[in-house]
Structure 1
Amino acid sequence: MATYPEIAKQVIDAIGGEENIQSIAHCATRLRVMVHDQEKVDTEAIENIDKVKGAFYNSGQYQIIFGTGTVNRVFEAVEELGITGSTKSDIKKESAKQGNAFQRAIRVFGDVFVPIIPVLVATGLFMGLRGLLLQEAVLGWFGLTPDSVPENLILFTQVLTDTAFIFLPALVAWSAFRVFGGTPIIGLVLGLMLVSPALPNAWAVAEGAADPIYFFDFIPIIGYQGSVLPAFFAGFVGAKLEKALRKKIPEALDLILTPFLVLLIMIALSLFIIGPILHAAENGIFEAMLFLLDLPFGLSGLIIGATHQIIVITGIHHIFNFLEIQLLENLGFNPFNPIITGAIAAQGGAALAVAVKTSSKKLKALAFPSALSAFLGITEPAIFGVNLRYMKPFVMGLIGGAASGFLASILNLQGTGMAITVIPGTLLYLNEQIFGYLLVNAVAIGVGFTLTYLFGFTDKMLEKK
């Protein structure tokens, strides 16, 4: 087995040498390399390097999949060889010039939302645990009933489960300012202004318990609790405005005038123009999503389950973060999560079938951990390292995703959170849905595994590849 310095040297050689590397960084699972000349990259040599689970070129980056933990050590070994790494923000700036306008827009959208996801994951877990602990059967173990649960305990759980969504615009505006080059603390305050207690609460307005404040008799002013798009575009415009003002305002007055003008101008724009328009657009997108999820006879699960991993390949799947946030905010649950869970698990089942069936020790060593990674919710190693290489396993995984998505829709499964799936995702279903959730995953893995084992892979494919 090769050492990490040896792997790093092999990667540099296969990528075309140090002179072909423009910049290099890494994320949780991949080594991301910006190259000067893509033609100099020897993809086959890279894929044959020990511990490499796959490699592909996308949006200006040559991405080599090593998996969590391993990629950090390989990157450290690369740096020890004298290759200067770049920060992820630097490499994002380089890659932002690559791809079409839609791909760049989705990539930026992802850059804003990815830092927020951990707190939303934690909130979803709190919701799941609250659902478990407040079940009548569980309360009975402690001699309690739903009516005997102390109000203070209910209040404490509400603090855990509601805070992130109440102040979601503040999180989004903070992250948008950070991504678009503004001062994040100004974005945070702007986002907090959008949910100020002085404004009519958005939820109270939706329930009819409060009325909007109307300016000029036709502009409705409300708070934006739980909204995403108004805060996102307020952050975008606000960051651009701040950068423009800093170029015009003398340095002696910059500390005082710039934050003052940014907040004054942006809260006016946000409440009178950006907010009302984009809140309406947000509602339209949400209604379209509901229409798809409400298709009868399990069609929604069938369609989403069959196509989700295709969308992951394109790299634009970060758009789903916004949709899941909207579902949780408006419905209080997430029917999208169990469907995509099946799609992810099925790709893991297909990779597991390849691992079991192949006689190649190298492919086994690649496919087994790739399948495990998928069962933990990360499919890139399974897709790019195994299934997509031989195509048929990937297709069989899509069929498994369609079957399990259909079942998830029929069972009307509803996740309590987002962003975690398969084994970790179990924590979002710690209630009466747990057996349905386990059944959906079993069907996904079973169909993906069985179809791949019987029809999707033979060792002859190794020769053809």
Structure 2
Amino acid sequence: MDYKQIANDVLKAVGGKDNVAAAAHCATRLRLVLRDESLVDEKKLEEIDAVKGTFATEGQYQIIIGTGTVNEVHKEFAAMTGISDMTKEDVKKAGTKKLNPVQQFVKMLSDIFIPILPAIVAGGLLMGIYNIFSSPDLFFEKKSLIQVYPNLADLASMINTFANAAFVFLPILIGFSAVKRFGGNPYLGAVMGMIMVHPDLLNGWGYGGAVTEGDIPVWNILGLEIAKVGYQGTVLPVLAASYVLAKLENFFRKWIPAALDNLLTPLLTVLVTGALTFTIIGPVMRTGGMLLTDSLVWLYSTLGPIGAGLFGLVYAPIVITGMHHSFIAVETQLLADIAKTGGSFLFPIVSMSNVAQGAAALAVLFITKNAKMKSLASASGLSALLGITEPAMFGVNLKLRYPFYAALIGSAVSSAYITIYLVKSVSLGPAGIPGIIAISSGGILHFIIGLMISMAVTFIATILLSKRFGDK
């Protein structure tokens, strides 16, 4: 490949050197921050053989080029624009300045939760494995695997311990990640999280029962009674406490003399934040979290298949805006409060949407006569079935439009179906075909049927719509 020529063609198509404010690359994509995205010539970009697709998100214009090739193209691009030595983080910061307040809030949630997702996913998938051992009627009528084979009970118990850890100590993970994002010392954030789940406190999951019985332990400090209640499995309280901690730390560091900084700043930060957490922040945000969970469960129970169908219809357009990252916090709360919610109803619907995008791209494989589009449709379609939708959605479906519309139809129909049978997930995971392991045992069969409905409806709809809109 002539990398210099590719870089030159890309530069011309995005509006020239003066339109590029920042540039970097990841494993497959050239990441740009453009001063004016309306200057981009999409048609010229599509005609470049090395370009597999493009999309705009979070203030960045990203061009999919491919592993290995993107490194060489970026070298030439950097030389032409005079922009070098920029990391992905530098480009993210530059892109953030272009976002509106709502987009910045969603990006903040994304920055906090995405780093801890592997821990939550690992714990959740282990929970799915434990459910295979412990769920009745999965392999044997009215009996679980460990009831039939008691020698497996200890193995199942060990897996359950591993699975619960991430959720029991969730405030520690969030505290570390959130304080880091808010500009404070992440280790102080972890300490705050540890305080909130300390074993001397009443376990957070026993709070409801203690309120009913009127048996809540308290600290009595100068006549003020402070509830000694933990925050296991909570999200909003630790997010708010982390924000306060980071701001207090920076405040104390600014005013405390350098000679006493290492001694007094951590002490005052943890002491003041801890006191505020158990007197004001925690109780208020716990109530807020409970209201949020109850509201979501109410909507799910009340609107049922109609609400799920609407969510399945609009989920992919939400992804285009980047606001889908805000759902991570909601799903985490639903899973952390699984005894009340029964799991997350969002994950199965997202899986329906992702599989629909994959089916639409694979349908294009059989429809289009364009060799480049065939290649992209086959690879990206399979990727979307496994839960990675970016290449299919932005590289194929949105470009041709009619496959995207077909995917929305398939997603809506299948989402409504799985909601009729109350399919929920017990964990986060890859939102696609592999997500089967994350589904509660009673919903696995209907989840699989939902995936088949999503693929079939989307595939047929794509073919039908292609006859009207033509192969473009």
TM-score (norm 1): 0.90
Pick the aligned partner of 2:283 from 260, 270, 276: 276
- Tell me if 1:186 matches 2:171: no
Stretch of structure 1 that moved more, 377-386 or 72-81: 72-81
Stretch of structure 1 that moved more, 29-38 or 166-175: 29-38
Q: CA deviation at 1:321?
A: 0.6
Match of residue 54 from structure 1? 53
Alignment of 1:232-247 (within 5 A): 232-247=239-254
Pick the aligned partner of 1:78 from 74, 79, 85: 74
Is the Cα–Cα contact under 8 Å of residues 5 and 78 in structure 1 kept in the other structure? no
CA distance in structure 2 between the aligned counterparts of 1:284 and 1:142, rounded to whole angstroms: 35
Match of residue 366 from structure 1? 376
CA distance in structure 2 between the aligned counterparts of 1:167 and 1:48, rounded to whole angstroms: 51
SS in 2 for 1:324: helix
Is the Cα–Cα contact under 8 Å of residues 169 and 231 in structure 1 kept in the other structure? yes
Task: Name the CA shift for 1:51/1:228 in 2 (closer, same or farther; >3 Å).
Answer: farther
Is the Cα–Cα contact under 8 Å of residues 19 and 35 in structure 2 kept in the other structure? yes
Task: Name the CA shift for 1:39/1:305 in 2 (closer, same or farther; >3 Å).
Answer: closer
CA distance in structure 2 between the aligned counterparts of 1:368 and 1:425, rounded to whole angstroms: 21
Deviations 1:144-178 (A, max 9, x none): 62582566434412321111011111111111111
Q: CA deviation at 1:91?
A: 2.3
Match of residue 105 from structure 1? 105
Structure 2: which amino acid aligns with 1:283?
M
Match of residue 295 from structure 2? 288
Is the Cα–Cα contact under 8 Å of residues 98 and 104 in structure 1 kept in the other structure? no
Q: CA deviation at 1:416?
A: 2.1
CA distance in structure 2 between the aligned counterparts of 1:273 and 1:357, rounded to whole angstroms: 60
- Tell me if 1:200 matches 2:202: yes
CA distance in structure 2 between the aligned counterparts of 1:160 and 1:272, rounded to whole angstroms: 32
Match of residue 417 from structure 1? 427
Alignment of 1:426-445 (within 5 A): 426-429=436-439, 431=441, 433-445=443-455
CA distance in structure 1 between the aligned counterparts of 2:333 and 2:307, rounded to whole angstroms: 17
Q: CA deviation at 1:383?
A: 1.8
| Percent of aligned pairs with the same amino acid | 37
Deviations 1:213-251 (A, max 9, x none): 376677644211011111112112211222222222222
Alignment of 1:203-218 (within 5 A): 203-208=205-210, 211-213=216-218
Stretch of structure 1 that moved more, 4-13 or 184-193: 4-13
Pick the aligned partner of 1:265 from 259, 264, 272: 272
Task: Name the CA shift for 1:189/1:144 in 2 (closer, same or farther; >3 Å).
Answer: closer
CA distance in structure 2 between the aligned counterparts of 1:219 and 1:53, rounded to whole angstroms: 59
CA distance in structure 1 between the aligned counterparts of 2:436 and 2:304, rounded to whole angstroms: 25
Deviations 1:86-110 (A, max 9, x none): 2233223222222221111111111
Structure 2: which amino acid aligns with 1:74?
V
SS in 2 for 1:24: strand
Q: CA deviation at 1:335?
A: 2.2
RMSD: 2.8
Structure 1: which amino acid aligns with 2:209?
E
CA distance in structure 2 between the aligned counterparts of 1:150 and 1:355, rounded to whole angstroms: 46
Deviations 1:171-230 (A, max 9, x none): 111111111211111111111111111221111122348625376677644211011111
Match of residue 313 from structure 1? 320
CA distance in structure 1 between the aligned counterparts of 2:30 and 2:5, rounded to whole angstroms: 16
CA distance in structure 1 between the aligned counterparts of 2:226 and 2:418, rounded to whole angstroms: 41
Query: Which 5+ residue runs of structure 2 have no aligned equivalent?
Result: none
Stretch of structure 1 that moved more, 82-91 or 390-399: 82-91
Match of residue 88 from structure 2? 88
Task: Name the CA shift for 1:317/1:189 in 2 (closer, same or farther; >3 Å).
Answer: same
Alignment of 1:9-408 (within 5 A): 9-18=8-17, 20-26=19-25, 30-66=29-65, 70-71=66-67, 73-75=69-71, 77-79=73-75, 82=79, 83-135=83-135, 145=147, 148-149=150-151, 152-208=154-210, 211-213=216-218, 220-295=227-302, 298-332=305-339, 333-408=343-418
Is the Cα–Cα contact under 8 Å of residues 367 and 471 in structure 2 kept in the other structure? no
Is the Cα–Cα contact under 8 Å of residues 390 and 457 in structure 1 kept in the other structure? no
CA distance in structure 1 between the aligned counterparts of 2:145 and 2:23, rounded to whole angstroms: 59
Stretch of structure 1 that moved more, 84-93 or 415-424: 84-93
Stretch of structure 1 that moved more, 130-139 or 39-48: 130-139
CA distance in structure 2 between the aligned counterparts of 1:22 and 1:457, rounded to whole angstroms: 42
CA distance in structure 2 between the aligned counterparts of 1:186 and 1:395, rounded to whole angstroms: 48
Aligned length: 458
Structure 1: which amino acid aligns with 2:191?
V
Is the Cα–Cα contact under 8 Å of residues 133 and 139 in structure 1 kept in the other structure? no
Deviations 1:113-137 (A, max 9, x none): 1101111111111011111233566
Q: CA deviation at 1:60?
A: 2.7
SS in 1 for 2:245: helix
SS in 1 for 2:337: helix
Is the Cα–Cα contact under 8 Å of residues 54 and 395 in structure 2 kept in the other structure? yes
Stretch of structure 1 that moved more, 150-159 or 397-406: 150-159
Is the Cα–Cα contact under 8 Å of residues 79 and 85 in structure 1 kept in the other structure? no
Is the Cα–Cα contact under 8 Å of residues 169 and 194 in structure 1 kept in the other structure? yes
Stretch of structure 1 that moved more, 11-20 or 152-161: 11-20
Task: Name the CA shift for 1:9/1:335 in 2 (closer, same or farther; >3 Å).
Answer: same
CA distance in structure 2 between the aligned counterparts of 1:452 and 1:16, rounded to whole angstroms: 33
Q: CA deviation at 1:302?
A: 1.2
Structure 2: which amino acid aligns with 1:271?
F
Deviations 1:321-351 (A, max 9, x none): 1111111111252222112211111121112
Structure 2: which amino acid aligns with 1:111?
D
Stretch of structure 1 that moved more, 448-457 or 18-27: 18-27
CA distance in structure 2 between the aligned counterparts of 1:12 and 1:51, rounded to whole angstroms: 13
SS in 2 for 1:55: strand
Task: Name the CA shift for 1:297/1:252 in 2 (closer, same or farther; >3 Å).
Answer: closer
CA distance in structure 2 between the aligned counterparts of 1:281 and 1:75, rounded to whole angstroms: 46
Query: Which 5+ residue runs of structure 1 have no aligned equivalent?
Result: none
Deviations 1:34-85 (A, max 9, x none): 124445533322233234333233443212234xxx2565145413654514
